[in-house]
Structures are given as C-alpha cells and as structure tokens.
Structure 1
Amino acid sequence: MSYYDIDAILTDTQKLPCTFQLDVPGLGYLDGNAGGTVKAGTIIELPMWLGVMLAVSTGNTPGASQLVTLNFPTPLQQRVINALKADPKTVDLRAQAPHFYALGARIMELFDDQAVLDTLLDTFKARASEIADQAHNPRGALGDGAEFLRGLDEIERQLFKAAHEGPKAVKAWMQDQKKNS
C-alpha cells in the first residue's frame, strides 16, 4: 500500500465493527455521547485505520487486555459470503463496498480465515470471465449485462477497461506495423 494511493486511503476508511474490551473515559463522542465513557462490550463502527490502531493499543497497566477487538465488516460478513458462494455474478459488490477486493485483502491481513479467502478468490475468478465476456461483447454490456457492470468494484472496473481497450490497442499497433513495413 502506497501512502499516496487514493484507493488504499478509501479502503482504510471503510467502517469496521469494533468491540471495546475496556471502559474508556472521554471517548463517548465515538458513540454519540460527547465527553462520556465508552463501556466495555460496546460495539462501535469505526474507520478501519482507527479500529486497527485501537486494536493494537492496550490499557496503561502491565498485562492489560487490548482496547478493542475487530469484527468482520458488513461487506464480508457471513450472509454476503454465502451469497458469493451461491452465485458470485449476482452480488452487487459495489453496493457492498466500492473497493471490495481491496477491503478483502486488507481484512485478510488482520484475520486468518481461509474459507473467506477462498470465497474471495473463487468470486474474482468467476466474475473475471464474465467481465472479459462483457468487455468483448458490447451489446451484452448495453442489455442484460448492464446490471452486472454497475455492480463492479474498482478493481473489476479496471479489469473491464483493460479488457475492452486491449484489443483496440493491439489492432492499432498492427495497423501501424503494416504502414511502417
């Protein structure tokens, strides 16, 4: 992840449910209670960058437990994973998270869940073939495929653009080679 990568910055702003393990005075504004105390057991959705920072923080006494524990974000919770397993082409990934795969990669850095990782990989493979088909068949993109294309996340949109513009670039190069020969 690059410091100046806007996609990485937007991914790290994705909300992540965090469960507080300790009472924290003065952080009540995170839960809509300005100046109040966040009680242990409270779940608050925080930007990923903040949740991760709080998860590695501990209380100020030796041996204290961590401040928060992280939970899977909504786009990667079990109901979405089940839908992806059933038919990955029908899930609107953009509605789940505009940077769905980047979020998945970032979450896999934090959690060791092979089943979710396998589902994300299978989803990308299945959707990549459909994206390539839509990129080479413009009538499909205007008809039945339009709904599918609206649901692409940012990485899939880049893949669609590359698959759509690649053959045009090769054709232009071939014509240029014929002219110069």
Structure 2
Amino acid sequence: MSYYDIDAILTDAQKLPCTFEVDVPGLGYLESSSSSPDIKAGTRLQLPVWLAEMLAVSQRLGTLTNVITLDIPSALSPRVQNALKADPRTVELRSLATHFYGLGQRVLGLFEEDELCEVLINSYKLRAAEIADLAHNPQGAISGEAGAFLRGLEEEERQLFRVAHDSSKAIKQYMGVREGKK
C-alpha cells in the first residue's frame, strides 16, 4: 500500500491490546485513567497498530527485554475465528473492525498464526463469492438476509462489491448496445 493510502492509515490506527513489560517514564498520558506520569510494568493498554508494532520490536538498551508484548485483538480472537470457520457469511466483519482484513494482515506480520491465516483466507474466498453473486444480482441484494450481509461488509469487501457491481452494469450495457446494433 502507498504512504498516502487512506485505508492503510485507517488500518494502522486500529487498536491492539498490549502489556508493558517494563516501566516507561513519561508516557503515563497514554493511560487515560492514570494520573501517574509513568507507565508501570504489567499495565495493559490498547495502542494503535503503528505504535504497538514499533514498541513490540524495540528492546530496552543493553537488555533483551521487550518493551511490550502484544495480544491478538478481539476482532481476531478464537471466538471470532470459530464463527468464521462455521459460516463466514454470518459474521458482521464491519462491527469487528472496519478494515478487518488489513488488521489481519498486520497481525499476521507480527504473530506466527498459521490457523488464523487459513481462517482469513477461507473466509475471504467464501465471502468474495457471495459478494460477487450479490453484485451481479442487485435485486436479490435488497432482501433481508442479503441486505444484512452487505451491511456487515468491511471496507475492502465494500470496494470489491462496488467494482463487481459496476463491471456487471458495464457488461449489461455493452451487451445491450451490441444487441441493439444487430
């Protein structure tokens, strides 16, 4: 993704749960409920992906102790993974994270989670097929179940729907023009 890509910026702004392993002076303002100027070891916070990633890979000078440890975000928790394994079309990804697959990609860059990778790939394939079907059949997309599915699409899926719908319209228009010339 490009430096100026708004979707990349919004993905980086999503929160990751982390635990501080060391005392960090002067960053107490990150913990809104604390009046202390410092963050104490053991403090759990939700930090933006870009900051959590930088702190997770950095180490204290002179030691091999990491500054923070990262946890899997709730949007990618085992509970969500199980729901996606059962039927990915029933999960409202937008309510979990507006840039769900972008968050998954960033998390997979930080964790070695083969099962999570498989779940995300399979979910995307099944949901993309459903999205393509609804994009080519816009009348069916308005009904209750399909409408609920479309409202739950995360941002990348919404872009996929728009492209598939626009291409379907363009093909129908092209075919109508060709048939009209015969």
User: Could you say which residue in structure 2 is the equivalent of 1:38?
Assistant: 39
Letter in 2 for 1:168: K
- Aligned-partner Cα distance in 2 for 1:166–1:30: 46
- Aligned-partner Cα distance in 2 for 1:175–1:136: 16
User: Could you say which residue in structure 2 is the equivalent of 1:9?
Assistant: 9
Does the 8 A contact of 1:18 with 1:69 survive in 2?
A: yes
| Residue segments in structure 1 that go unaligned for 5+ positions in a row | none
User: Could you say which residue in structure 2 is the equivalent of 1:140?
Assistant: 140
Per the TM alignment, residue 157 of structure 1 is displaced from its structure 2 partner at its CA by 0.8
Q: How many residues align?
A: 180
Does the 8 A contact of 1:26 with 1:34 survive in 2?
A: no
What whole-Å deviation, never above 9, does each CA across 1:96-145 have from its counterpart, x for those lacking one? 01111111111111111010000001101111111112112222211121
- Aligned-partner Cα distance in 2 for 1:167–1:132: 9
User: Could you say which residue in structure 1 is the equivalent of 2:128?
Assistant: 128
Q: Could you say what secondary structure the match of 2:63 adopts?
A: coil
Equivalences for residues 81-96 of structure 1 within 5 A:
81-96=81-96
Does the 8 A contact of 1:18 with 1:45 survive in 2?
A: yes
Per the TM alignment, residue 80 of structure 1 is displaced from its structure 2 partner at its CA by 0.8
Per the TM alignment, residue 178 of structure 1 is displaced from its structure 2 partner at its CA by 6.9
- Aligned-partner Cα distance in 2 for 1:50–1:9: 12
Per the TM alignment, residue 20 of structure 1 is displaced from its structure 2 partner at its CA by 0.5
| Residue segments in structure 2 that go unaligned for 5+ positions in a row | none
Equivalences for residues 18-167 of structure 1 within 5 A:
18-32=18-32, 33-60=34-61, 62-144=62-144, 145-167=146-168
Does the 8 A contact of 2:135 with 2:168 survive in 1?
A: no
- Aligned-partner Cα distance in 1 for 2:69–2:138: 46
Per the TM alignment, residue 171 of structure 1 is displaced from its structure 2 partner at its CA by 3.2
Per the TM alignment, residue 63 of structure 1 is displaced from its structure 2 partner at its CA by 2.1
Letter in 1 for 2:143: G
What whole-Å deviation, never above 9, does each CA across 1:18-49 have from its counterpart, x for those lacking one? 11010112211111224522111111000011
**Percentage of pairs with the same residue:** 54
Does the 8 A contact of 2:99 with 2:156 survive in 1?
A: yes
Q: TM-score, with normalisation over the residues of structure 2?
A: 0.91
CA RMSD of aligned residues (A): 1.8
Q: TM-score, with normalisation over the residues of structure 1?
A: 0.91
